[in-house]
Amino acid sequence: MTLISATLGHAAPYNFAYLDEQTKRMIRRAILKAIAIPGYQVPFASREMPMPYGWGTGGVQVTAAIIGPSDVLKVIDQGSDDTTNAVSIRKFFEKTAGVAVTTSTSAASIIQTRHRIPEETLKSGQVLVYQVPIPEPLRFLEPRETETRKMHALSEYGLMHVKLYEDIARHGHIAKTYAYPTMVGGRYLMDPSPTPKFDNPKMHRSAALQLFGAGREKRIYAVPPHTEVVSLDFDDHPFEVNKFDKPCALCAAEGVYLDEVILDDRGGRMFVCSDTDHCETRRADGHRGELLGSPIEQKEATHVA
Amino acid sequence: MSPETMSADDQPLLVARGVTKRYGPHIGCIDVNFELFPGEVLAIVGESGSGKSTLLSVLSTRLDPTAGSVGYRMRDGVMRNVFDLNEAERRLLMRTDWGFVHQDAREGLRMGISAGGNVGERLMAVGARHYGEIRSTALDWLNRVEIDQTRIDDAPKTFSGGMRQRLQIARNLVTNPRLIFMDEPTGGLDVSVQARLLDLLRGLVADLGLAVVIVTHDLAVARLLSHRIMVMRHGRVIETGLTDQVLDDPREPYTQLLVSSVLQV
Ligand SMILES: Nc1ncnc2c1ncn2[C@@H]1O[C@H](COP(=O)(O)OP(=O)(O)OP(=O)(O)O)[C@@H](O)[C@H]1O
Ligand SMILES: [Mg+2]
Ligand SMILES: [Zn+2]
């Protein structure tokens, strides 16, 4: 955040959403191409942004290219609106585009994310912008880019299954828990990196438009609304999302992604929603987890209210 | 090339016509013509630099020829010039109906991936999606190439040279190809290991009715494995015929020299 303010200065004359119009048009063309070829990595001329690579410069450029004055922006990092990275990107767009910001998933028209997809089902008209560090799912299997391009062109993805085979041979199951490979629209292999595989099913046939920006790697790719996103697996080792033993300690939500929180230095810990907005909304609606009171108290509380 | 080792149709599987490869001003191979029949093993012999590997690379589409064509009878029975196939067809051919065994196993294997994964890769590439079946097929192939099945989860970088070559062979044969190219598959192995590999190869080639083009400068290898032999010198084929005939009664002075020098060793 200090970095951004330092670079921008206070009265810096920058264009709406920081990037100049020509650059935004170039990025929009890449986005349109990405939407037209779901899952295909479109090269684009990534610009220097007033933040280092690894801070979501790809996502920021995509957001800058699509955002308009009437948009409402939400930014999350690991599911939380309050982390340094999320706060600084939100401030960046408040300052450079003067747009309204929110932490509410349902109120946002654009959600920029690193790691998570909100628990609340996204609606038609919403855009989810992912910050992607490594867009190429075959990178660690085949380092030659000429070769990975050919593999994409010919839809030759046997090697990805070799990787999953190796996982099962070594660990008895597919050990990949994030950046879990998917097939988009039955055609392109896509790395949803670095989202946990827990969120993969949310990508499948989502009503929202999903855009992926990789700044350092200069790639943009997209999953248009209602597109098939299938996680790779074997017939006898089907894809499964991680399960959590307990509901959220704060809001009692089940079937959501939980983070472990250390409570004290005596081994005390709890599991709470990683999606902070989801957790707060549920608590505001009267849901109470283990840590905030028993289910009976919860019932009484709701009656009183 | 006895009739019973041929498949029902006695039409050639591979046809080379005027195959020429130049590296700028340098000659790779010039005007090579031959036909290879199903189940037939052809050895290409000759001294270092005579163009054996160049020819093999062109035949297997790893190199584009400067001139000439290479016809291959596809599984549907149609003869196609392999250089007219599109990239997708060519790559599919290379990992299903063809195999390539390299002298250096590191070129033919994924050294960091388990033996099972190496053997299973071609299956997965053509759509196999049942882990248990892929694994049992891999186990079966390890067995056939005499690799202890308990090594299935070990990477080939922990294997001996002979084991690596046998693993390479299993990896190639798992999709039931009809044609295998081999470039000095026994090169660099010590004699007893070579003998075992040759025995294994001979058995597999006969059992599976494979057609093979094998490059070697070891005439003993050619004698043991091949039905027919082509002798190359300075990029040209200077003598060709049935293996025993050529080795026992060479016509060309150069071949005579080659044979006699081998006999002296
Ligand atoms: N990439 C290349 N560029 C230029 N010349 C080459 C290249 N590859 C091979 N040659 C030349 O082509 C000729 C044939 O080489 P090739 O490798 O086919 O011979 P070879 O019979 O396989 O030899 P060896 O038994 O040593 O493997 C040689 O004169 C060689 O120097
Ligand atoms: Mg050679
Ligand atoms: Zn919660």
State residue B2's pLDDT score: 47
Distance from CA of A139 to the nearest CA of B (A): 15
* Interface contact flag, B126 A165, Cβ < 8 Å: no
Q: Which chain A residues contact residue B125 at CB under 8 A?
A: 156, 158-159
DSSP string, A195-244: SBGGGHHHHTT-SSEEEEEETTTTEEEEE-TT--EEE--BTTB-------
Phi, psi (deg, nearest 5) at residue B176? 55, 55
Distance from CA of B79 to the nearest CA of A (A): 23
**Cα–Cα dist B217/B184, whole Å:** 8
State residue A300's pLDDT score: 44
Among B232, B171, B214, B206, which Cα is nearest to B56's?
B214
pLDDT in tens, A11-60: 456 799 999 999 999 999 999 999 999 999 999 998 888 877 677 899 99
Q: Say yes or no: A166 contacts chain B, CB-CB below 8 A.
A: yes
Query: Which residue, judged by its Cα, is nearest atom 25 of ligand 1?
Result: B48
Atom of ligand 1 nearest to the CA of B57: 18
**Cα–Cα dist A269/B188, whole Å:** 60
Give the model's confidence band at A9: pLDDT under 50 very low, under 70 low, under 90 confident, else very high: very low
State residue A4's pLDDT score: 43
Query: What sign does the CA torsion over B70, B73, B75, B81 have?
Result: positive
State residue A157's pLDDT score: 94
State residue B9's pLDDT score: 57
Model confidence, pTM: 0.87
Among B110, A120, B135, A115, which Cα is nearest to A102's?
A120
Per DSSP, the three-state class of A72 is strand
Residue A267 catalytic? no
**Cα–Cα dist A284/B96, whole Å:** 60
State residue A293's pLDDT score: 78
Tokens of A26: 């170039």
Please provide the size of chain B in residues. 265
Ordered by start, the domain boundaries in chain B are: 8-97+178-264, 107-176
pLDDT in tens, A172-204: 999 999 999 999 999 999 999 789 999 999 999
Q: Which chain B residues contact residue A236 at CB under 8 A?
A: 130-132
Query: Which residue, judged by its Cα, is nearest atom 13 of ligand 1?
Result: B28
**Residue A249 CA, ligand 1 centroid: distance in Å:** 70
State residue A50's pLDDT score: 83
Which among A56, A215, A248, A289 is annotated as catalytic?
Answer: A248
**Spans of chain B below 50 pLDDT:** 1-8, 263-265
Domain B8-97+178-264 in CATH 3.30.300.30? The answer is no
Residue of A nearest to B122 (CA): A158
Q: Say yes or no: A146 contacts chain B, CB-CB below 8 A.
A: no
Task: Give how far Cα B246 sits from Cα of A150, B48, B213, Å.
Answer: 44, 19, 17
**Residue A280 CA, ligand 3 centroid: distance in Å:** 7
Candidates A161, A167, A235, A239, partner chain B, best to mutate (most B CBs within 10 A):
A161
State residue B125's pLDDT score: 94
Summarize the confidence of residues A248-254 as an average pLDDT: 96
Query: Which residue, judged by its Cα, is nearest atom 24 of ligand 1?
Result: B48
State residue B3's pLDDT score: 45
Among B189, B240, B261, B201, which Cα is nearest to B45's?
B240
**Residue A81 CA, ligand 3 centroid: distance in Å:** 14
Mean pLDDT rounded to a whole number for chain A: 90
ipTM of the complex: 0.89
State residue A297's pLDDT score: 41
Distance from CA of A297 to the nearest CA of B (A): 50
Comparing A204 with A115, the larger pLDDT belongs to A204
State residue A193's pLDDT score: 78
Please give the share of chain A, as a percent, with pLDDT higher than 90: 78
State residue B262's pLDDT score: 59
Q: Which chain A residues contact residue B126 at CB under 8 A?
A: 158
Query: Which residue, judged by its Cα, is nearest atom 30 of ligand 1?
Result: B49
Summarize the confidence of residues A69-96 as an average pLDDT: 94
Query: What sign does the CA torsion over A26, A27, A30, A31 have?
Result: negative
Helical ranges in A79-222 per DSSP H: 84-97, 145-153, 158-171, 200-203
**Residue A288 CA, ligand 3 centroid: distance in Å:** 9
